[in-house]
Amino acid sequence: MQEQGSRQNAGLSGTAAFAMGCFWGPEALFGSLPGVLRTVTGYAGGTSPDPDYRRMGDHSETVQLEYDPSVISYRELLDLFWSSHNPANINGYKDRQYQSIVFWSGREQLEAIREKLSGLALEGKPVPDTEIAEAAEFWVAEERHQKHALKRFPDAVSKLDFLFPSRKEWEASTLAARLNGLAKGYTNRQRILEEIDGWELAEGRKRLYAAALKEIRW
């Protein structure tokens, strides 16, 4: 069964992509947020063909999100991006692997980025050493890099394997995004339970999710 997660306005979701160091933590951070529907780690920002973790070339570790703008805005995502890492500390480390980059898609996102940077300048704050790049091809990372924090807990993985037809489907689910955030300490069980109650899912499916969440041994 394909999970619809917390999507409230089908067809009106947005996509955002950020590079901010190792992609494991950012995937968990953004995945913990109400309004974020899907998360996936991958490689972007470079020109090297067919990158993977051992042959990344000039790409950077990136997290891509699908989000519901009626619940969380792109500006809120931008604020979290810049408040959650220090670009100056990562640039040049391991070449471009841990580069700080915000990838924009569409005029509205680009204007939001420019407004944020202008606001910092007006406040007398330094402009972040972050690359601003138009979103281009995104290469999905290997399975072991998806929901990395969550996969450290075998019981959670076992319960998701039971709830979903395939590993690929649960990795792309809203539920797994939240549990990955929980595994990293960015959210809590009660908050997720309350959110599940409002998801556009059959009541039986909600009960299955809630029961699994309550029973997971962390």
Please indicate whether residue 1 or residue 75 has the higher confidence score (pLDDT). Answer: 75
Number of domains in the chain: 2
pLDDT of residue 94: 61
Q: Are strands 100-104 and 131-134 parallel, antiparallel or unpaired?
A: parallel
pTM score, whole prediction: 0.92
Catalytic residue among 4, 8, 15, 22: 22
Residue 9 has pLDDT above 50, yes or no: no
Closest C-alpha among 158, 152, 161, 198 to residue 35: 198
Domain span at residue 48 reads 14-143
pLDDT of residue 83: 93
Residue 199 has pLDDT above 60, yes or no: yes
**Torsion angle defined by CA atoms of residues 198, 202, 205 and 209, in that order, rounded to the nearest 10 degrees:** 0
Rounded percentage of the chain residues whose pLDDT exceeds 70: 92
126 and 30, same domain (yes or no): yes
pLDDT of residue 34: 98
d(CA 132, CA 119): 16
The H or E element that residue 208 is part of is helix 203-215
Inside any domain, residue 7: no
Task: Identify the weakest region by mean pLDDT among 14-23, 90-99, 158-167.
Answer: 90-99
Contact between 73 and 35 under an 8 Å Cβ cutoff? The reply is no
d(CA 33, CA 30): 6
Span 154-177, mean pLDDT? 98
19 and 73, same domain (yes or no): yes
106 and 33, same domain (yes or no): yes
Closest C-alpha among 98, 129, 132 to residue 113: 132
Inside any domain, residue 3: no
State the CATH number of the domain containing residue 128.
3.30.1060.10
**Torsion angle defined by CA atoms of residues 17, 176, 150 and 66, in that order, rounded to the nearest 10 degrees:** 0
pLDDT of residue 126: 85
90 band by pLDDT with thresholds 50, 70 and 90: low
Task: Identify the weakest region by mean pLDDT among 49-63, 93-107, 174-188, 193-207.
Answer: 93-107
18 and 86, same domain (yes or no): yes
pLDDT of residue 49: 95
d(CA 8, CA 112): 23
22 catalytically annotated: yes
Please give the mean pLDDT across all residues of the chain.
Answer: 92
